[in-house]
Amino acid sequence: MTTPHQPLTTLSEDEKMFFQSVQDFAKKEISPLVEQMDESEHMEPALVEKLFEMGLMGIEVPEEWGGAGSSFFNAILAIEALAQVDPSVSVLVDVQNTLVENAFLRWGDDHLKKTYLPQLCGKKVGSYCLTEPNSGSDAFAMKSKAVEDGDHYVLTGKKVFITNAKEADIFLYFANVNPEAGYKGITAFVLERDMPGFEIGKKEKKLGIRASSTCEVLVNEVRVPKSNVMGEVGKGYKIAIETLNEGRIGIASQMLGLAGGAYAAALKYSKEREQFGRSLSQFQGIQFQIAEMATRIEAARLMVYNAARLKDAGQPFVKEAAMAKHMASDVAEFVASLGLEIFGGYGFIKEFPAEKFYRDAKIGKIYEGTTNMQLQTIGKMLLAE
């Protein structure tokens, strides 16, 4: 696969080297597995082990807890680079870094950090359990309950559309300790796969990102020690909102990488495919399409990088994160669609990469906050300025 052009002026030398190292890893270790993993709807366990060995499963976690001690921005670069080859692998790394570990770093006490971060950086995948059958965009309409029982809470509930659930051992699970208080009763708990009453339910069959597991998580009277409460009781809504604000930059980066991969494939094909005695790339109409794709990718990249830089700098970034996710998911869908058209009939068959990028792109407008939710956030913040 041709490497998409990178605007090197926006990256430091260390960031360029890191990005290139992840690109090289993706081409060598992931590319040969993409088709097979998509067809089987299964993430190769040996590849997950290599992600840990590469240090990509704990990028922002300090070295004292087994992580790379790097920046949020580098996590975003890794997510982008991986998505250029396979968005399914990218989202596994994304959820691990920007949702699960991010929550531990910001809200976990010393006990939770010392207990779980070394595991998450070493060999155990994490999962973020928020969505329920009747609780999607209205995340706080959840029905999962937690009842206090001595030095434990007893949890009962059902989560759906949970990314990484099949591979994960550690789960951040949101439940309500006081339903009468509404969202103010929502609390975050750390659960483990082997806790009695914990079960992974149905694995969904999906349009795209098929190698990424999306499953039900079933909790039936699971006893969780109070020491596994993350943050304060009743503050789970705050953890959920603020964690997802950062996670949206991760999804934006995934969509940016997907667009880059789709663009690179279309550009390469346009130079190789001949019609009427010359390559497609020599036709002005195709040149216009290539230019439009590249321009939109560049615009999305600047928005994604800006949001990540703001987050690392400790500056307000919520509006910029929503804008970046909205823009990047739009661009991914546009580029994947137009790229498929450049492939012509070959774009519609699985032998070429265009159709998979096209299928994978659609989820960007849906998960971790739909496009309408992003627009609502942007509008409210603009009106409040």
End-to-end CA distance of the chain: 44
148: left (phi over 0), alpha (psi -120 to 50) or beta: beta
Distance between CA atoms of residues 270 and 278, nearest Å: 10
Beta strand residue intervals within the chain, DSSP E: 125-129, 145-149, 152-163, 168-176, 186-192, 198-203, 214-225, 229-230, 274-275, 278-279
CA distances from 75 to 18, 58, 119, 209 (A): 10, 9, 18, 20
The residues, any chain, with a CB within 8 Å of residue 183's CB and separated by 6 or more, are: 140, 237
The residues, any chain, with a CB within 8 Å of residue 40's CB and separated by 6 or more, are: 211
Local structure of 225: helix, strand or coil = strand
Does residue 303 contact residue 326 with C-beta atoms inside 8 Å? no
Catalytic residue among 41, 216, 333, 368: 368
Chain centroid to CA 11: how far?
A: 22
* DSSP type of residue 358: H
* CA dihedral for 278, 85, 322, 76, sign (positive or negative): negative
* Cβ neighbours, 10 Å, residue 251: 30
Instruction: Look up 368 and say whether it is catalytic.
Output: yes
Catalytic residue ranges: 368
